[in-house]
């Protein structure tokens, strides 16, 4: 059995299929760990969702900001943006089944020495605390009533840092924003959501979330995506997997057992 961690697919179904062929993926034997953003901007998000659902228990994925955006559009909280490619899902005959499947995916996952998240973790969060906090939000997303009640409050940049005393929508928004939108923060954990560029251009006072000294999650190897300008980065306790397939880069898989890298060039 092999476990393959794969970067942001974002609706690039053809390249995803090519990558599965290259790694010789066998759903009866192997596992896929997906860092989220499986839909949007690419040409065939509907096919990606259908493929993932067909793979069943062979897939473990965490939600990304584009996956949540699809849920917000479907819930009527926001509208499609000019570059969105969500219409095929929203108009699909099995739309409700697809959306329900997506809402039941994790926000964070960890197993043995690895942890899976879309964007990042705040420096004060241990892996165990992150799992506990993610489960708070997952319960809300999975329940029809609580999801409808919380959805209008999900978007927003405040609060921009964590406090144990946070409650309700403010607490859940910080958890979601950190796990699906974080790239840089201060050493104290204040998040900057405006920055999306290369690491060399980070504003003064901020650092990549994974470079904060004494980060509590250093006990595990964190697998994440979201930051395409960062590219593939493999360190002892860190693997960044968003290699910009959507932008003409590559779609990347890393076999966790030996850290072998597999890539498909994306036109």
- Arithmetic mean of pLDDT, 1-23: 98
- Arithmetic mean of pLDDT, 79-105: 97
For 130-139, the pLDDT digits (tens) are: 999 999 999 9
Q: How confident is the model at residue 267 (pLDDT cuts 50, 70, 90)?
A: confident
pLDDT at residue 58 is higher than 90 = yes
pLDDT at residue 214 is higher than 90 = yes
For 32-55, the pLDDT digits (tens) are: 999 999 999 999 999 999 999 999
Q: How confident is the model at residue 111 (pLDDT cuts 50, 70, 90)?
A: very high
- Arithmetic mean of pLDDT, 180-199: 96
Residue 62 is predicted with a pLDDT of 98
CATH number at residue 80: 3.60.21.10
pLDDT at residue 186 is higher than 90 = yes
For 62-75, the pLDDT digits (tens) are: 999 999 999 999 99
For 218-229, the pLDDT digits (tens) are: 999 999 999 999
Strand partners, 224: 240
- Give the total number of structural domains in the chain: 1
- Arithmetic mean of pLDDT, 19-35: 98
Residue 222 is predicted with a pLDDT of 98
pTM: 0.97
Average model confidence (pLDDT) across the chain: 97
> What range defines the domain where residue 63 resides?
3-265
């Amino acid at each position: 059995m092999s476990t393959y961690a794969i970067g942001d697919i974002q609706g690039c179904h053809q390249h995803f299929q090519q990558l599965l062929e290259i790694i010789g993926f066998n759903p009866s034997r192997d596992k896929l760990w997906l860092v989220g953003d499986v839909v949007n901007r690419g040409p065939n998000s509907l096919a990606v969702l259908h493929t993932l659902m067909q793979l069943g228990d062979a897939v473990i994925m965490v939600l990304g900001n584009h996956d949540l955006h699809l849920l917000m559009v479907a819930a009527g909280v926001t509208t499609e943006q000019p570059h969105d490619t969500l219409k095929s899902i929203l108009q699909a005959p099995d739309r409700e089944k697809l959306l329900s499947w997506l809402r039941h995916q994790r926000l964070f996952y960890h197993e043995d020495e690895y942890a899976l998240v879309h964007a990042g973790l705040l420096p004060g969060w241990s892996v165990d605390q992150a799992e506990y906090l993610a489960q708070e939000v997952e319960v809300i997303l999975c329940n029809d009533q609580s999801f409808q009640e919380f959805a209008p409050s999900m978007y927003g940049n405040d609060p921009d840092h964590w406090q144990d005393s946070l409650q309700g929508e403010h607490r859940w928004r910080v958890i979601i924003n950190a796990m699906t939108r974080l790239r840089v923060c201060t050493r104290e954990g204040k998040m900057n959501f405006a920055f999306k560029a290369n690491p060399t251009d980070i504003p003064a006072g901020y650092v990549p979330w994974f470079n904060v000294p004494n980060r509590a999650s250093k006990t595990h190897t964190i697998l994440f995506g979201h930051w395409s300008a960062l590219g593939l980065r493999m360190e002892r306790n860190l693997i960044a997997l968003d290699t910009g397939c959507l932008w003409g880069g590559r779609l990347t898989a890393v076999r966790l057992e030996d850290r072998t890298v597999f890539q498909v060039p994306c036109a």
